[in-house]
Amino acid sequence: MLVVLALVAAACGAQGASPSASASNALPSSSASTNPEAVISDVEAGAHLTFWTFYLSPTFDDYIQSTIDRFEATYPGVTVDWEDHQATFLDDYRNAINSGTQPDVANLSNNAGWVREFAEAGKLLNMSENLPQEVIDTYYPNLFMDSVVDGSSFQVPWYQAIPVEIVNTQILKDADLTVDDFPTSFDGLPDFCQKIKDATGKLCDIRLSVTDYLAQMTYEGGVDVMNEDGSAFTFDSAEAVDWLQTYVDMVKNDLVDRSALTTEDDRVGLDLFNSGEAPFYQTGPQLIRETKDKNPDLYEQLAIAPFPIGRSGVIQPTSQGIAVKADTEFPRAAMALAAFFTSAKSQLEFSKIVAVYPSTPAAYEDAFFTETPELIEDSARPLAQGLIEKEQNILPTIPNAADVNDVVRKAVEKALFDGADPQQVLSDAVAQANKLL
């Protein structure tokens, strides 16, 4: 019992008392730099920054460290203390805020909702107000404004993972299908899965966005989850019911692997695919390296298909962002580090190491993005720029997002696994979610 109490209490320590500081406050100036990579002026002399990344070590240690070294050379006198946090990143970051040790600069996921969570709590620096316009202009506008809170951006966009379908061509061949038959829209998936199951007995490896059902409804189902003024939820509309019914039918007809469908862990579906038991799986091409490592035979039979577009007709951005602590002692230096890692040059170098895609149009001017790639994991590279330009965040800001998502999760699971009527469960969920507004 004491352990349980201690666990909760450990996360409930004293609150940092310092108020948010505005970066527009007068800042000490530093020596002006002539280095073209020094895009932020008046960086605080002697600034010491803490920088957290998410799941990048040890694979990308060399890249991160060499970029930091270049940054420190660009802004002499500024030093960076880098830490990589992995599965516990979110807990670590929340606890760091609570204990007053929030890192100055951190790699926060946009589509996992982290940027919004901490921006709404006033813990992140407003980039729209503080970052020079010429730096803002280097990013795709749709990505810079990926996680908007009160009309402002609180992050700069970093690398993108273009979602693709990795396909086991052997299973498709057994089902008398080819990768060209892969459905181009979400609506084509059930029939495709039915054909595969009938011919091979294999189930589709599809994963619901357990931590963000409303995003999945929005993009995949074309559902308006809130009314225009944000005063009420509307995810019990005909579109929403239709979206849920699609999944209910797939579960009822035993077309999807249930263990992958409702897991929070992306690796469950990926491992299932890597075992050779699944016909396809939607993931980022950078994770194909895992198939190569774990199942080289399967890697030889891999193909890539564009992922099926949802009923919204829009692609959800899947960007990692870099955010700055709201009350950092060194706002100019912190913004400089964020801008440095997300510059066209730094991102191009990163893309050459792993199949991730830059958030800056200038990076795509390099021949690297137009050459025909040799490896399957790189085959999305020539398509990347076109896809990123189509990405758009159409999900409204959801108040109490985690609690609302939990309400929706219960409704979806009741419909999928308990035989409840989709319309009824969604209407009940809307009523419950409206109480959280």
Q: Contact residues for other proteins (CB under 8 A)?
A: 1-13, 15, 91, 94-95, 97-98, 117-118, 121-123, 201, 203, 210, 257-259, 261-265, 268, 272, 275, 277, 402-403, 406, 410, 413-414, 416-418
Query: Least distance to other proteins from the beta carbon of 210, Å?
Result: 7
Nearer to other proteins, 2 or 367 (CB): 2
Nearer to other proteins, 11 or 353 (CB): 11
Rg, Å, the chain Cα set: 23
The answer to whether the peptide bond before residue 58 is cis (omega within 30 degrees of 0) is yes
Contacts of 365 (CB under 8 A, 6+ apart): none
Amino acid at 211: T
Query: Least distance to other proteins from the beta carbon of 292, Å?
Result: 21
Query: Least distance to other proteins from the beta carbon of 301, Å?
Result: 18
Report strand pairing: 148-149 vs 152-153: antiparallel
Query: Least distance to other proteins from the beta carbon of 334, Å?
Result: 19
Query: Least distance to other proteins from the beta carbon of 437, Å?
Result: 16
- Residue 240: closest CA among 211, 209, 215: 215
The encoded tokens of residue 209 equal 């966005």
Query: Least distance to other proteins from the beta carbon of 269, Å?
Result: 11
Query: Least distance to other proteins from the beta carbon of 347, Å?
Result: 29
Query: Least distance to other proteins from the beta carbon of 427, Å?
Result: 18
Contacts of 41 (CB under 8 A, 6+ apart): 29, 32, 332
Helices (H) and strands (E) in the chain, counts: 20, 10
Q: Burial code of 276-304, b = ≥16 C-beta within 10 A, e = fewer? A: bebbbbbbbbbbbebbbeebeebbebbbb
Q: Where are the beta strands (DSSP E) in 236-378?
A: 280-283, 302-306, 319-324
Report strand pairing: 105-109 vs 48-54: parallel
Nearer to other proteins, 294 or 410 (CB): 410
The encoded tokens of residue 35 equal 């280095």
Query: Least distance to other proteins from the beta carbon of 6, Å?
Result: 4
Cβ count near 27 (within 10 Å) = 15
8 Å CB contact between 218 and 226: no
Query: Least distance to other proteins from the beta carbon of 206, Å?
Result: 14
- How many whole angstroms separate alpha carbon 310 and alpha carbon 216? 9
Nearer to other proteins, 118 or 140 (CB): 118
Contacts of 58 (CB under 8 A, 6+ apart): none
Query: Least distance to other proteins from the beta carbon of 393, Å?
Result: 22
Nearer to other proteins, 92 or 366 (CB): 92
Nearer to other proteins, 416 or 433 (CB): 416
